[in-house]
Structures are given as structure tokens and as C-alpha cells.
Structure 1
Amino acid sequence: MFIDVPSRHRARLVWATPMLVLVSVGVFLWLVTRAPETRLLVLERWGAVPELLSPSGRLDLASLRQLLTLATALLIHADWLHLVGNLLFLLIFGLPAERALGGGRLLALFLLGGVVANLSAVFALASSRSVIVGSSGAVSALIGAYLVLFPRARLGFVVPLGLFLEFVRTPAPLMIGVWAALQLAFTVVGPGFGAVAWSAHAAGFAYGLLHGALSRGAVRRRHRGA
């Protein structure tokens, strides 16, 4: 897969997206080398647990450490498939978004979008002992912002046709629209469709749309000053 994003600023140095990837991989590699009991303890202590964050259906603001888990949970992944899937989309959408927004704004989008997404999952799973981990909600926010910032971008796919490979280019809004529709459908289906907090994806995507819309002025000013 490749992305064609017309831009005069492809040479901009990016650091936030690679840093997020490296930290996520590092945390995962550290976890898989721990004993099962330690892994479980880390997940329960630094993952977002709805029962602890919202014991009575309302967000508990008394425990700072519990509130921090809304952010720390973004860097913890359950398995290789979970990790690779999230980081693939983080690279695809995060790198061009960072070139437009800058590293600091990209990092803020990732963290704030992820926190909003995890909050949505906490309320959707209120009083549950399930542990919410992974950067899916934050990546969903990046995808939403990408759609607003690059409405004319195209996604390219390599499609195997027998003995030949064919490059197919599809408008990014079309593919993202299909992705968003699936997230909404999975949100309605709920926990019955796998152990995924689908409502977090939808909330993260909505936040990304808003964040991208509010950032367009800053992006234009950043490009004019380059």
C-alpha cells in the first residue's frame, strides 16, 4: 500500500509518529518477556478499567493514576496482531498528517483523540472489569483528521491478478468512509463481535474530524511560513 499526498513539504522532518511506533514496540517487547503474572498486573494497573474509572456510571476524578490510564493504555497492546494492525495504520495516516500539522500537534492529536476514545469505551463498558488497551482509538482520530486535511488524497493497493500485480488507486475518502461505516456497524453489534471497544473507534474518528477541521488554519499558516 502507498499513499499519494500532493505536497510541497515532503522533506519535513517527522519525529512524533516514529517515536510512537518505537515506544509501542518497546513496551510490547518488554511485556512479552515478562512472566504471565507480571503481564496481567501491568495490564490491570496501566490499562483503562471501566469499573475503576466509572464505578457508579460517572467518571471518578479522585484518582489521578486511574485517569492517567486513559493515556497509558494507548501504548499497551494485547498481542502481535493487535500491535501490527494499529502501527500499520499509524504509519500510513500519521506520517502525512505529521508533515502537515507538525510533531507537537500530531502528538497532541494522538493523545487527546486516544483519551476521548478510551473515555467513550469506559462509559460504554461501565462497571466492567474488562481492560481497555491499544492505540486503536488514537489511530481512529488520526484517520479522521487525515480525511479533513487531505480530502483529495489517494490510497494505492497492489492487487494480485493471477501471475501479475496490478496497482489500483482509490480516493482516500472512499476507503475511509468504508472503514468508518464498519466501525459504526461494529459499535451497534457491540461486544458480540469480538473483544474490541468499537465505540472507541467511532469516538476517536469523530474527534479527529473535529480536530482536523480546527487545525486547517494552523496548517495553512505552517505551510506559508515554510
Structure 2
Amino acid sequence: MRGLNGKPRVFIPIPPRERPIRRWATPVLFLLLWGCFVAASLLPPGEQRRLLLEWGALSGDLRSLPELLASLRDGHLARLVAALFLHADWAHLVGNLLFLLIFGAPAERAMGPWRFLALFLLGGAAANLAAVLAIGTPDRLIIGASGAVSALIGAYLALFPTARLGLVLPLGLFLQFVRMPAAVLIGVWAGLQLVYTFVGPAFGAVAWSAHLAGFAVGGAFGLVSRAAIHRRMKRVHGF
């Protein structure tokens, strides 16, 4: 077809608008963790304790493979997931929420909400199971999302090994914002978890083994699925 000046018209197709990418898993988990803690804190002390004992993971529950298989029938494994949403105090909760936001948002952007949610729940349950098996003292209560958040940290390192994280350092009277390799910061963090497993602050009161197990599960997940996740990022985000 020609235009009024006799020259052929050129039609440039308009590419379809990209469907907005909804990243909902991180805020949903944030609200669930916060809401569960607030709801539990409103209960009378006796009810709070009973809630923790009924839904928290207990060391010594699963001492052998037959007991682990038997727990599939009596619902004990449900505790491994439910324990992720129970916290001892505000400091315990806020620390996990902070790390969830730092590492969860970019991890969900890369892997998508459903894969991200599966990693949080399954990685956290595996971390709690490791703590149940590793803690020698029976009837020790294991609660909190630390294992699940550690799984996100492990996956983040596997997916973004060259990423850099911002860090605020006190330099004299001033605070200086610096960017450091994520591998260095996460490596220091993982090393501290290993040391604290045997000796360190709150020794015996923190399930450091759950942090290590979650980190290992997340790292393995990131390595195994990295190719598929990178293909997804290229398809969805265009890089």
C-alpha cells in the first residue's frame, strides 16, 4: 500500500505489552510470619506454651529411620513446617524477617513465586529435621524460620555468586555505605554458623545445625536448578 506521496507505507508492529510479573511469595510469607507471631503473643502464657509444644519440632522425636517413616502417619512431620511460623520473641522474628527481605526478594525474582515458596517450606522443613536429628538432648523445642531463610541464602549464593551486597560500616564518627561481594559476606556468615554449632553465643539455645542444613539444601537447590532458573529469567525478564 502506498501513501499520499506515492511512497510505500511501512507498518511497524507494536510488540504486545509484557504481562506484569507478580512477586507475591515474599510479602505473603512476611505477613504470615508476622501475623502468626502477633496472634500467638495475644494468647495467655499457658496457651502460648501449649501452642509451641504442640506445633514446634521437638528433638528426640525422630531418632531412627523407622521412627521417621512412622511419623508420616501420625503427623509429626507437619511440625517441621508449622515450626517455621513460630518464634520465641520479637528479636527472633525481626532477624528472620530482615534476612527474608534482603535475600528473598531477589531470589523470588529469579526463580518465581512458586519455586521460591517450595524452597522456603521444604528447605525449612529439611533444616528443622536436621536439627531434630542432630540435637542430642531430647525434648528441645525447635522453632523459627531461620532454617528456611538459610535455604534462601544458600540459593541466593548459588544463583548470584558474583553479586555484591550493601553494608553499613561504622568508620569513626560516621557510617559508611560500602558494597562487598556477597560470596564474602555469606561465607563469613556460614563460617560463623559452623563455629557456633559447637561453641559460641547462646550455645545450646540456638539450632545452628538447622541454619547449616538449610544453607546446604538451598545451595544444592540453586546449583541443580540454576540452568532452568536462568532460562526463566531470560524468558521473563529479557536477560
Partners of 2:160 and 2:173 in 1: how far apart? Answer: 34
TM-score, length-normalised on structure 2?
0.84
Structure 1 residues 5-52: Cα deviation after superposition (integer angstroms, max 9, x where no partner): xxxxxx843111111110010000011111001000100011011233
Rate the CA distance shift 1:224–1:50 in 2: closer, same or farther, 3 A.
same
Q: What is the correspondence of 1:2-151 to structure 2 with a 5 Å cutoff? A: 12-54=21-63, 58-59=67-68, 60-126=70-136, 128-151=138-161
> SS of 1:169's equivalent?
strand
Distance change >3 Å, CA 178–CA 31, structure 1 → 2: same
Q: Distance in 2 between matches of 1:79 and 1:111?
A: 21
CA RMSD of aligned residues (A): 2.1
Unpaired runs of 5+ in structure 1? 1-10
Aligned-partner Cα distance in 2 for 1:137–1:75: 11
Deviation digits for residues 177-206 of structure 1 (CA, Å, limit 9, x no counterpart): 000001111112389715011111111111
Q: Distance in 2 between matches of 1:204 and 1:16?
A: 18
Q: TM-score, normalised by structure 1?
A: 0.89
Which of 193, 206, 209 is residue 183 of structure 1 equivalent to? 193
Q: 2:166 aligns with which of 152, 156, 167?
A: 156
Distance 2:34 2:49 in 1: 18
* 1:55-76 alpha-carbon deviations (Å, 9 max, x no partner): 8994242544211000010011
More relative contact order, 1 or 2 (CA 8 Å, 6+ apart): 1
Aligned to 2:210: 200
Residue of structure 2 equivalent to 1:6? none
Deviation of 1:162 (Å): 4.1
What is the number of residues matched between the two proteins? 216
User: Aligned partners of 1:164, 1:62: CA distance in 2, in Å?
Assistant: 55
Query: Is contact 1:152–1:172 with CA below 8 Å preserved after alignment?
Result: yes
Range that drifts further, 200-209 or 182-191: 182-191
Structure 2's unaligned 5+ residue stretches are 1-19
Paired with 1:113 and 1:41, the residues of 2 have a C-alpha distance of 26
| More off after superposition, 183-192 vs 140-149 | 183-192
**2-side partners of 1:224 and 1:176: how far apart?**
26
* Counterpart code for 1:182: L
Counterparts of 1:57 and 1:140 in 2: how far apart (Å)? 28
* Cα contact 1:117–1:137 (8 A) shared by 2: yes
Q: Distance in 2 between the 1:55 and 1:33 partners? A: 37
Structure number with greater Rg is 2
Specify the SS of the correspondent of 1:151: coil
SS at match of 2:71: coil
